[in-house]
Amino acid sequence: SAVISQKPSRDICQRGTSLTIQCQVDSQVTMMFWYRQQPGQSLTLIATANQGSEATYESGFVIDKFPISRPNLTFSTLTVSNLSPEDSSIYLCSVDRTGRAFGYTFGSGTRLTVV
Amino acid sequence: GESVGLHLPTLSVQEGDNSIINCAYSNSASDYFIWYKQESGKGPQFIIDIRSNMDKRQGQRVTVLLNKTVKHLSLQIAATQPGDSAVYFCAEIPSGNTGKLIFGQGTTLQVKP
């Protein structure tokens, strides 16, 4: 299965600032996904990062708050903008498992704390 | 709307016993269901999946059962070990959607030595 490296693993940020999270995959993948996991909660899909086109956002998530880049088939970034304490969460990237139609591999996540 | 939920937030079992984690889903048109294990400080780890045209699938020490009649999914772990302690999530993939995972709320499995 694909190996995913996510950076940073954690960060503490001041409110009003932004944090950019990087996701690097060791093989080319068509689709990359960004999820949010609020404290003690399950995972919620933020958006699908498509190479060569705009990201597709889920209901409740907007590009101005969560801009996404996908410059190639192995890399994506998620920026969480204008941070507030409510943005304190774990952010995870995910890719389709190599060679399978379903079943998705996750990175280890970025734990963001906004103070 | 679509939802995937779990019956119990926490399950405590004795080491060596079998564990059963349950999940209810509401979208009868979903194609796939996946069980993930998430240990503290880590991302979800794929355990096993099952297609909607199957009732049962077995892996190493794990079995997933799918009951489409009552829209119920379960994960059975045989001979539970301390290393199985984690949060377990079921996830659903709606029909025709190859990307979106809808996650349940999670069950914490605690294994007592």
* Calpha distance B80→B1 (Å, rounded): 35
Q: What is the pLDDT of residue A105?
A: 87
Confidence band of A47 (pLDDT split at 50, 70, 90): very high
Confidence band of A53 (pLDDT split at 50, 70, 90): confident
- Rg of chain A taking only CA atoms, in angstroms: 13
Q: What is the pLDDT of residue B2?
A: 43
Q: What is the pLDDT of residue B7?
A: 47
The DSSP line for B18-78 is -EEEEEEE--TT--EEEEEEE-TTS--EEEEEEETT-SEEE-SSEEEEEETTTTEEEEEES
Would you call B46 and A104 a contact, using CB atoms and an 8 Å cutoff?
A: yes
A-chain CB neighbours of B93 within 8 Å are 102
Q: pLDDT digit string (tens) for B23-61?
A: 988 788 888 899 999 999 899 999 999 999 999 999 999
- For the cut 60, the answer to whether the pLDDT of residue B73 exceeds it is yes
Q: What is the pLDDT of residue B53?
A: 92
Confidence band of B3 (pLDDT split at 50, 70, 90): very low
Smallest CA–CA distance, residue B26 to chain A, in Å, is 17
Q: Please give the residue of chain A at the shortest CA–CA distance from B40.
A: A108
What is the C-alpha end-to-end distance of chain A, expressed in Å? Answer: 36
Smallest CA–CA distance, residue A43 to chain B, in Å, is 6
Q: Does residue A58 belong to the interface with chain B, where contact is any CB pair within 8 Å?
A: yes
Q: What is the mean pLDDT of chain A?
A: 91
Kindly list the structural domains of chain A, giving each domain's residue range(s) and its CATH number in brackets, ordered by start: 4-114 (2.60.40.10)
- For the cut 90, the answer to whether the pLDDT of residue B11 exceeds it is yes
Q: pLDDT digit string (tens) for A58-100?
A: 999 999 999 999 999 999 999 999 999 999 999 999 987 654 5
Q: pLDDT digit string (tens) for A19-30?
A: 999 999 998 888
User: Where does chain A have alpha helices with state H?
Assistant: none
Q: What is the pLDDT of residue B6?
A: 45
B-chain CB neighbours of A53 within 8 Å are none
A-chain CB neighbours of B46 within 8 Å are 1, 97, 103-105
Q: Does residue A42 belong to the interface with chain B, where contact is any CB pair within 8 Å?
A: yes
Calculate mean pLDDT across residues A4-22.
97
- For the cut 60, the answer to whether the pLDDT of residue B8 exceeds it is no
Least Cα distance to B93 among A102, A44, A61 occurs for: A102
For B4-112, CATH gives: 2.60.40.10
Q: Does residue A105 belong to the interface with chain B, where contact is any CB pair within 8 Å?
A: yes
Residue A55 vs residue B28, higher pLDDT = A55
